[in-house]
């Protein structure tokens, strides 16, 4: 897989990892008692509860407070769902309006190897944006597991490499460089498979093979990190899917 494909798959796994948490948070918020609607209804002027006084100030206050208690997760669920559905259409995948987002993400992962590199990068950017938005709302960090003491074979920064840990298979977790300015040819944020990184480190005279560095025989992975931000082309929208 090309770096573009690696970013796409890594971001898809990352979003898959937090999506269930977002759904759960949204459902739990909806189920919580004491909704504002009831309050508004009870205080509605002329409802009889407070017979008489059409007190606009009271109504406004209730409505204002009520708005603040809306389910903060629902808009994110809908935005991400609509983006995923749009992407599925864009990629010519069969679109089922009611299909769970998880199902789409799995379909995307299956489809990635057949995508052109530019399309894979575009997908990576869109998914990365959704992943970051969901994680930010849930106050969850990215899926990067930093590898201390190893220098990036491209920018020579120590401790900047990170494993993206969302892929359930530790051997398929890519390694990225978390330095924003560290790019591969074509402006693609640096990313390697484990094997590719081993080769790059072997070729790098700066390598000191410190502890914690991924070794050919050791699945030193932790988990993956989030995709970096494809800086180049792509949907203009959120720019780079990068963490940090």
> Rule CB under 5 A: which residues touch Zn ion?
152, 154-155, 177, 179, 182
We find the least distance from the C-beta atom of residue 242 to Zn ion, in angstroms, to be: 12
Nearest CB to Zn ion, comparing residues 147 and 182: 182
We find the least distance from the C-beta atom of residue 221 to Zn ion, in angstroms, to be: 18
User: Residue 97 pairs with which residues in a beta bridge?
Assistant: none
Encoded tokens for 147: 């590898």
Nearest CB to Zn ion, comparing residues 111 and 197: 197
We find the least distance from the C-beta atom of residue 166 to Zn ion, in angstroms, to be: 20
We find the least distance from the C-beta atom of residue 180 to Zn ion, in angstroms, to be: 10
Nearest CB to Zn ion, comparing residues 26 and 179: 179
Closest by CA to 123, choosing from 16, 243, 241, is 241
C-alpha 209/C-alpha 211 separation (Å) is: 7
Residue 227 near residue 180 (C-beta atoms within 8 A)? no
Residue 146 near residue 244 (C-beta atoms within 8 A)? no
Max alpha carbon distance in the chain (Å)?
A: 84
Instruction: Tell whether the torsion through CA atoms of 136, 10, 130 and 81 is positive or negative.
Output: negative
We find the least distance from the C-beta atom of residue 212 to Zn ion, in angstroms, to be: 16
Nearest CB to Zn ion, comparing residues 137 and 161: 161
Encoded tokens for 221: 């992975």
Place of tokens 């920018």: 155
Nearest CB to Zn ion, comparing residues 50 and 154: 154
C-alpha 63/C-alpha 244 separation (Å) is: 38
Nearest CB to Zn ion, comparing residues 35 and 159: 159
C-alpha 86/C-alpha 35 separation (Å) is: 32
We find the least distance from the C-beta atom of residue 183 to Zn ion, in angstroms, to be: 8
């Amino acid at each position: 897989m090309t770096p573009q494909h690696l970013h796409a798959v890594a971001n898809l796994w990352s979003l898959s990892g937090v999506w269930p948490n977002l759904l759960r948070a949204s459902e739990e918020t909806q189920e919580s008692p004491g909704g504002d609607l009831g309050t508004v209804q009870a205080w509605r002027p002329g409802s009889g509860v407070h017979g008489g006084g059409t007190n606009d100030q009271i109504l406004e206050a209730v409505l204002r407070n009520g708005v603040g208690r809306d389910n903060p997760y629902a808009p994110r669920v809908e935005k991400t769902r609509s983006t995923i559905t749009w992407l599925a259409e864009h990629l010519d995948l069969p679109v089922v309006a009611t299909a769970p987002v998880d199902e789409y993400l799995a379909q995307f992962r299956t489809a990635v190897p057949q995508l052109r590199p530019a399309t894979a990068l575009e997908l990576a950017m869109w998914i990365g944006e959704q992943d970051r938005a969901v994680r930010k709302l849930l106050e969850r960090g990215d899926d990067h597991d930093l590898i201390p003491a190893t220098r990036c074979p491209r920018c020579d920064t120590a401790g900047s490499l990170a494993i993206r840990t969302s892929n359930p298979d530790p051997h398929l977790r890519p390694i990225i460089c978390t330095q924003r300015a560290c790019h591969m040819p074509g402006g693609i944020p640096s990313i390697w498979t484990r094997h590719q990184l081993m080769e790059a480190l072997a070729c790098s005279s700066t390598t000191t093979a410190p502890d914690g560095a991924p070794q050919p025989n050791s699945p030193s992975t932790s988990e993956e990190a989030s995709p970096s931000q494809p800086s180049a082309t792509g949907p203009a929208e959120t720019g780079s899917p990068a963490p940090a």
